[in-house]
Chains A and B, each alone.
Chain A
Amino acid sequence: MADGGSAHPAEDPAAERARPADGDAPATGLAGPRPDERPHPTGRRDEHGVRKEPDSGTEPTRRATISALVEDEPGVLARSAGLFRRRQFNIESLTVGPTTVEGHSRITLVVEETEAGIEQAKKQLAKLTPVIAVGELSGDAVAAELVLLKVRGQEPDKVHAITSMYDGQTLDAGPRTITVQITGDENQIDDAIDAFDQFGIIEIARTGQTALERGDSPTTPGEEPGHSAGETDDDEFTNYDD
């Protein structure tokens, strides 16, 4: 105490809020109306903090394809994957590869999340220091995936027919197994796998989806055309999607 203090706490200027023990307050805890004696508004929010009517159901999820242009440095993929793991975003696939710009790579992610979850995933990804730009691909973006299928080789003609039907290629054919490669969008791949199921699929390997925006729209915001695009005369380029 600046003034040396007094022996009795009740007279002590330091404890302005101290009250005598024989007050009408509870022996432990604090004074005041109980929780059930207080007014409470009824409005409620959902699990994302959005105010809603009490009876609206849970929010649906949707699938989104996110493209991230990144600095091609060690650990950038681990950082991105670690981020999704840590924040528990539901990730369906992740692909990565170089671009035509020296030192840049593109990561393509497919996530299944609520609207709020997708927004959060994009924002958190954009926050990583090596990430240059993040975009969500529109519904009409071009997307493709590659699958390798190893099936039993007892019916090579039938296998070949199905492979042709999906514009696939036979990579390896032996007396016991046949391995084919199919590319296409996700639905085509799923269909192809169903079709090959009749032969008995021994092994399967899928790349996950990779994707680009159509036409002149950049895949991530502000993305410059690749270095090999060079100078073009616009007249030579017709964007059929316009």
Chain B
Amino acid sequence: MSEPATPDTGGRDDADDADDPDEGADASTAGRTDDERAERAARTDAASREPGTGADAVVSALEAAGVDTAFGVQGGAIMPVYDALVGSSVHHVTMAHEQGAAHAADAYGVVRGDPGVCMATSGPGATNLVTGIADASMDSDAVLALTGQVPSAMVGSDAFQETDTVGVTAPITKHNYFASDSDAVGSTVGEAFALAKTGRPGPTLVDLPKDVSFGDAETPVGEPTPPERTVPDPAADEEQVEAAARAIEEAERPLCLFGGGVIKGDATEEARAFARAHEIPVVTTMPGIGSFPEDDDLCLSWAGMHGTGYANMAITHTDCLIGVGTRFDDRLTGGVDTFAPEAEVVHVDIDPAEISKNVHADYPVVGDAGTVIEQIDAEIRGADAPDTTEWREQYDEWRERYPMDYAVDPDEPVTPEFVVEAFDAATGDDAYVATGVGQHQMWAAQYWTFREPRTFVSSHGLGAMGYGLPAAIGARIAAEDDREVVAFEGDGSFLMTIQELSVAVRETLDITVVVLNNEYIGMVRQWQDAFFEGRHMASEYDWMPEFDTLAEAFGAKGFRIDDYDDVAETVEEALAYDGPSVVDAHIDPEANVYPMVASGAANGRFALAEDQL
């Protein structure tokens, strides 16, 4: 954020300021001497650290929580907290824009399985985080956001860079806190961190008025602990488990639907073992991608608006749908009145509010995914289970009838599917794929074969364009060095957060950004062609910069693909480049995403071409 001339109070030129003991006009009045700082940096045992100020307590709380990375942008009201980061074990990654910080923290959390942390100053810094926090909220990602706030005495006065951050973020956080006590702020931050990952994960936020950050804190900060009543019982009620097990036993056409909750609950192993033990085919939701290997005979890939034909056929004809960690989002269900019309629904979720929210659960089972799956597994007798041979033959036939293949003509523009598959073939099974939002996201999800959880990092529920590049940065920092990180972006999506390329260059992050460039905001163009008689209002993006040249201007490596002959060599060079590279892949501008279930339609009515919509 741009700074006022006097970064102390937000620039209010007021004689009363002299009365305010918490005004720190600069570090010399606010902080410690260089000797104290050096001494502080020398201490490594976070738990034994004596906090000095509220800001120290905040950083101590992060250290006690095991946080090793935070993403953020400096600014007036958050300066004391940044000052306390000096010498801390928490590595701070300065981002170009707070939206990038929130998305990077979100992706970091997805990859690591622990909450990601982002920081911003008050006012515009906090409002810039909002998209990323909303994204984390929609996808149940654990994220801790720390925001600066104007001094308590000025709150409510419309001070410079003041926004009601707690009010603005209340609907998009699991919970948020307005810190009011320097001595308690450390435990508040610890609680917020713990709450973010407790039960159903989600974003939490702590708003830190500057006087609270500057104030004295004496109480040592302990381990992060969530409020007791927010910790759910992992095991489900025995009666619920028994009822669900009976329903699964009696099913002739059972189907597992694994959602993002399987991955977030670290239940991938249990989920896979369950499906294999009972020979139940699996479809996933989009956030559930990677919960089951997509090249497994039992896997029908993912269902929903742009899911595979065979996944949507299976949903349409199953008589027992075992949903685990899914919220039956409208992109998955189409119209709920036509969703899984023959199915008894078993719904396993940690959040009781998700049960029967969108789709009525005939067999609700509330608990932790892995625990509940094992409970149900132990309960299934299976001795006189129906013969499912016919069902297996049926879905194998659907796989044959609705193949995910595509035409390749060397004389035509490159198809996006080909580019995705080329990168998939050239990377390991454990590579991470981050995406923006749009057609390119769907092609990446459809044509990349995912085998492992946490390898698909995307903006699902919110559908936030611009997610891909900052997410790739967060994933790269979170991931082991030997695993590739590839970001698929669209031209429109990439342009929304392209400034973060400067961060990737500064940090020498080995990521490969593949821009599937069709010079359209393609998903909108596809809908305009289908539903708005082809009027391309505001969707033509022929004004895009040359992304390969622009990448070079940032200091990254730029590549360009114009036809099929460029693909193999470019893929190899871009992946081999040790640093951020951008591949501007000029694809067929008319390419569309199929299958497609129209909004509110039945899953089984997916269109395979435009004339079927």
Contacts and interface: CB of A to CB of B under 8 A. Distances in A.
A130 B418 CA distance: 51
A175 interface: no
Interface residues of A, number: 63
* Residue among A23, A32, A124 with most chain B CB within 10 A: A32
Contacts of A42: 341
A20 B422 contact: no
A203 B440 CA distance: 60
B138 interface: no
Interface in B399-419: 401-410, 412, 415, 417-418
Interface stretch (B139-147, B452-460, B463-471, B564-572): B564-572
A19 B604 contact: no
B168 to A, nearest CB: 11
Contacts of A47: 336-337
Nearest to B191: A129
A101 to B, nearest CB: 15
A17 B167 CA distance: 50
Nearest to B427: A2
A103 interface: no
Given A15-B418, A47-B336, A35 B229 contact: no
A44 B337 contact: yes
B606 A35 contact: yes
A128 B425 CA distance: 46
B230 interface: yes
A165 interface: no
Interface stretch (B115-123, B354-362, B507-515): B354-362
Interface string B159-187: 00000001100110011001000000000
A87 to B, nearest CB: 10
Interface in B479-519: none
A82 interface: yes
A74 B309 CA distance: 50
A27 interface: yes
Contacts of A44: 337-338, 341
B408 A26 contact: no
Contacts of A132: 229
A9 B612 CA distance: 29
Contacts of A41: 316-317, 341-342
Contact of B360 (A14, A26, A45): A45
B407 A25 contact: yes
B356 A48 contact: yes
Nearest to B340: A45
A30 interface: yes
Contacts of A216: none
Is the contact region of chain A dominated by helix, strand, or loop, or is it mixed? loop
A13 interface: yes
Nearest to A54: B337
B341 A124 contact: no
Nearest to B401: A32
Nearest to A83: B171
B356 A116 contact: yes
A26 B607 CA distance: 12
Interface residues of B, number: 73
A46 B341 contact: no
B336 A45 contact: yes
Contacts of A83: 171
B302 to A, nearest CB: 15
Contacts of B609: 26, 28-30
A45 B404 CA distance: 30
A132 B410 CA distance: 65
A163 B342 CA distance: 61
B572 A1 contact: yes
Interface string B212-251: 0000000000000001011000000000000000000000
A5 B567 contact: yes
A229 interface: no
B227 A129 contact: yes
Interface-centre pick from A1, A20, A130, A132 (highest chain B CB count, 10 A):
A1
B422 A31 contact: no
Contacts of B227: 129
A9 B418 contact: yes
A30 B608 contact: yes
A79 interface: yes
Which 10 A-B residue pairs are closest in the complex by CB-CB distance?
A: A5-B568, A29-B609, A49-B359, A14-B425, A123-B353, A21-B409, A129-B175, A43-B341, A50-B360, A17-B405
Interface of B: 166-167, 170-171, 174-175, 178, 195, 227, 229-230, 309, 313, 316-317, 328, 333, 336-339, 341-342, 345, 351-353, 355-360, 401-410, 412, 415, 417-418, 421-422, 424-426, 447, 564-565, 567-569, 571-572, 590, 592, 594-595, 602, 604-610, 612
Given A10-B408, A20-B407, 19 more contacts: A1-B571, A2-B426, A5-B422, A12-B567, A14-B421, A14-B422, A16-B421, A17-B406, A18-B407, A18-B415, A21-B412, A28-B590, A30-B404, A31-B403, A33-B401, A42-B341, A45-B359, A116-B356, A129-B230
8 contacts: A26-B608, A35-B604, A38-B605, A40-B604, A45-B341, A47-B337, A78-B167, A123-B355
